Amino acid sequence: MPPAKITPLSNGPLRIEGDFEIVDPEGNSFGLGGRTALSLCRCGHSANKPFCDGSHNRVGFQDQVQARDLPPPKPKL
């Protein structure tokens, strides 16, 4: 299994493919039923967060994705 690949989809969710685990804030794993690909909500309207349920289509979520470089992180003091 290849390592995880995350693809933000324009006007849609984050698509995750590969070998990954999703945990809640306490570190408990979500049962993914053996899935090696799924979509995470990016619009904030899914009734099944953190997973996408297609709500971005209903609410008209718009965000075009284009790769870019992030600035280096600021040093921690």
Could you check whether the bond before residue 73 is cis, i.e. omega within 30 degrees of 0? no
Boundaries of every domain in the chain: 1-60
Whole-model pTM?
0.89
Outline where DSSP puts E strands in 1-77.
5-8, 14-17, 37-40
Residue range 20-71, pLDDT digits in tens: 999 999 999 999 999 999 999 999 999 999 999 999 999 999 999 999 999 9
Spatial contact of 55 and 47, defined as CB atoms under 8 Å apart: yes
Return the CATH number of the domain spanning residue range 1-60.
3.40.5
Enumerate residues 6+ apart whose C-beta is below 8 A from 45: 55, 56, 58, 59, 61
